[in-house]
Amino acid sequence: RRLPVVMHRLRMAETIKDGVKFIEQGHVRVGPNLITDPAYLVTRNMEDYVTWTDNSKIEKNVLKYRNQIDDFELS
C-alpha cells in the first residue's frame, strides 16, 4: 500500500490527493523517518506507525478541530 492510501484509510487525509500534498510538504513520518516520497510503500506492520511530524501545523489543526488539543503541548 502506498502512503497516501494508508493516510486516507487512517482518516489523516480527506482525499488521497490531500495525502500526497501533506507528504510532499513534509508533514508525515513513518516510525522515526520523515517521508517526502508519495510512492513510499507501507507494510501492514508499519501502518500503525504512520503519524504527523512533531511540529506539523496540520496535526495541530486536526487536534483543534477534534477538541483533543492539549494546551500544555502548545508552548
pLDDT the model gives residue 18: 93
pLDDT given for residue 57 in this prediction: 85
Q: Any alpha helices (H) in 10-65, and if so which ranges?
A: 16-24, 57-65
Q: Using one digit for the tens of pLDDT, what is the confidence trace for 50-63?
A: 999 988 888 877 77
